[in-house]
Structure 1
Amino acid sequence: MVQKIIELALRNRLVVLLVAACLFAWGIYAVKQNPIDAIPDLSENQVIVFTEWMGRSPQIIEDQVTYPLVSNLQGIPKVKNIRASSMFGMSFVYVIFEDGVNTYWARTRVLERLNYAQRLLPQGITPTLGPDGTGVGHIFWYHLDAPQMDLGEQRALQDWYIKFALQTVPGVAEVASYGGFEKQYQLVIDPVKLQFYNISMMDVMNKVKANNNDVGGRKFEMSDMAYIVRGLGYIKNKDDLEAIAVGNYNGVPVRVKDIGTVQMGGDLRLGIFDNNGEGELVGGIVVMRYGENADRVITDIKKKMGDVQKGLPEGVSFTIDYDRSSLIEAAIDNIKSKLLEEISVVCIIVIVFLFHWRSALSIIIQIPITIAISFILLNAFGLSSNIMSLTGIALAIGVIVDNGIIMAENAYRNLAEYQRDNTPDT
């Protein structure tokens, strides 16, 4: 069988060269289309459901949120397993699907079940889907270098400007902020004054909530002019909040400042982000979308950060903490260097031992064609270029070279024996 294939290839050299050229061109296209990452994605095919109910104990979260969600998510097609965890104020449900299931199809089916399970949860509790990333999707970390800004201002800058800008980069699933303080108005209520004015805590909460709102009116026409009437009621500072009336005492309005104090503070924190013991920092983690090209996404992120830098306050800059592209580029440079080394070694060995440049050329041509075909197969099986696959290709180059040298030497020896046996004696 092998002999017939060799004979067929020798009799149809132009066809073989044309097929090899087509495969090489296809392989070059596959190299450009194949997603590049540093590490292989071996995480499970899962969809995360996150639910927040602050202030509740893990047991309450388990009974009223996690259990109803898990019980209703059972029965989704192609689900392999469902795991869940409950903690203080938060619930996480991990719906693990079978390998090969489309991620976005899985998210759609989970979302359909969540719409049904919503009615079983406490009022005001809404479960949400996690980002469409994987466990190895954290491709880029950065923090802000802003010595002239406090942590609250840095976090506000991160949440309301930088985060929204970076989320527009193609391939980014989420930008998670960390560190600093999330600014909020804090009402410190005196319970003795509440009792004196006969006002409950719920009255205070409802009145503050109702007064922090804009209301619509209608259009008012007068003298060929149209005026839009509306009520502006959003809180802009502490004074607006202190002036809200929460009750009535003997015909006199009771305002927020009469029953307590208002201050600017930070939300409850469960941890801090420290820089080698030198102080706290504020930054973000960029999560890549499932199946994207990590190297291209990181390049686009850096370009976007350059645009965002122009709008930052004076003295504020980015500092990169983790950049996976450096590892990706190292893996690519490694296979390039190995490729050049192998080609050089082949040339030296074949020319020194066989003194035949055409044999060396035939072996050298095999290397790029074989590598190009391997990328076609990587795309066919949905695999990315990473340290594992590129290392395998680098190791396979040695096998290709060894086989080529052995075949060339064997052919050279057989031809020499054939010529010796068929040369007439003189």
Structure 2
Amino acid sequence: MQNWIVRPQLRTVPGVADVDSPGGYVKQYVVEPDPAKLTAYGISYGELGEALEKANLSVGADFIQRSGESYMVRGDARIRSADEILRAVIATVARNLTEGALLVIAILFLMLGNWRAALIATLVIPLPLLFSASGMNVFKISGNLMSLGALDFGLIIDGAVTIVDNTLRRMAERQQHEGRILNLQERLEVALRSTQEMVCPTVYGQIVILLVFLPCLTFQGVEGKMFSPMVITLMLALASAFVLSLTFVPAMTALMIHGHISEKEVPAVAKTKEAYNPWLYRAVARPWPFIGAAVGVFVLCMVAFNFVGREFMPMLDEQNLNLSSVRILSTSIDKSGELDLLIERAILTLPEVKTVYSKAGTASLSADPMPPNASDNYVILKPKKDWPDGVKTKEQVIQRIRKATDPVVGNFHDATQPIEMRFNELIGGVRSDVAVKLYGEDLGQMTATADQIVKVLRSVPGASDARVAQTEGFPTFDIKFRSGRHRPRRAPVAQPGGCRVGTRSRRDHIALEPHHEVARPGRRADACQSLVGWAR
């Protein structure tokens, strides 16, 4: 059901690229040969296995031969060509640009009172995006949430709005002075002079914005990988928007703004000034009470600032939790499943938890390889209004989960969030927030140094779940053959009918004495049983 019903239906959902199906049993057909009949027909185990493989060959995407023609068998996917993908991307971008442009036009019309002026400022939006895309291609920056999410339309059109507003004011004053409608040449002259007046303020504003983001280019590690694409993309967009505000915008304003132009305040600005002017006159007449009130508010804010938690990058609350559980390296996949079940039952006793499910090991076609001794326990929480009394924050929930899972022996986990964990692992190679990477040639010395480092990290206030990554200790079972006159016959051990040798907690070296009875088919099972008993 999991592989042939649930997985195919999930893959048909729009936007789903693939679905991994970890766990479950693989469908197999077991053939138990009769040794007596094989001997009677003169067939060996190897010949039987080769015949079974040839009789059950299954190849996908093959050809069907019919009337001298070959028909290729292929699946009809949802997206059939690169043109279709391109059209889908263009449609998405066009929808986002259209929605953003309509919002900007509405706000600009509300503040400027001229739909042509609002349209000119809006035309600045797509061109900086085009220049930014070209620059991202040059600097090898991929388009993602961090690089494209920082393109704020308000920052992009800031200079254009300033130029348009000043040009409208100058045109209205020139038209009132001339007593007639201005011609194209006069409008071009006014646009040029208006732009020259606003060059210095516009340059100053753009430089201030760029300097604010410039230190982000010096970040290293995870912060650098996160913020550098955003800053570079934003700087490209601001630089191109600045050039357009001094060239494209004045020319378009002179060409599109014609007819009668009047300088008047829009209703929103007029009403704001009516409420603001009385307070302005009072502040000018008696400034000290207002200055004292401002200083008092500043002092109160500084006091409150000391009681507010501070961090470089705020953590996105994903509502749910993820426990990255790790056991000893020799833990089998079955044992990991048993421990996951105990963890799930312990966590489900908490009333604020809605459900818990776990993922152990690696799926057949997974891009997230995990060893059998590692698991991801996903904890889905209820809405905060359904949490018990006294539990207000997610940190309290994590502490309650740790207390509930402490009785589960042989398990160690890091408490994080699903997306946050995956993001840290993709960027830094580890799932934790902070990691110390140690390089060297002597693995033993590195392990000793790592133990010393983790002791220091555990003493740091605020640090939790500090541990050393597992790099050794996986048990092996080695079999070494003694050299001599009598060499053991290895074929019977590898042939079907043999037995599996279990692993031990330490490296065991077993030497097989030459024994002719091992080669006898009738004694193969007994010989293997004695070998396993000796290894234990």
Normalised by the length of structure 2, the TM-score is: 0.28
Q: Counting helix residues as a fraction of each chain, which structure ranks higher?
A: 2
Larger radius of gyration: 2
Q: Counting strand residues as a fraction of each chain, which structure ranks higher?
A: 1
Which structure exhibits the higher relative contact order, with contacts defined as CA atoms closer than 8 Å and separated by 6 or more residues? 1
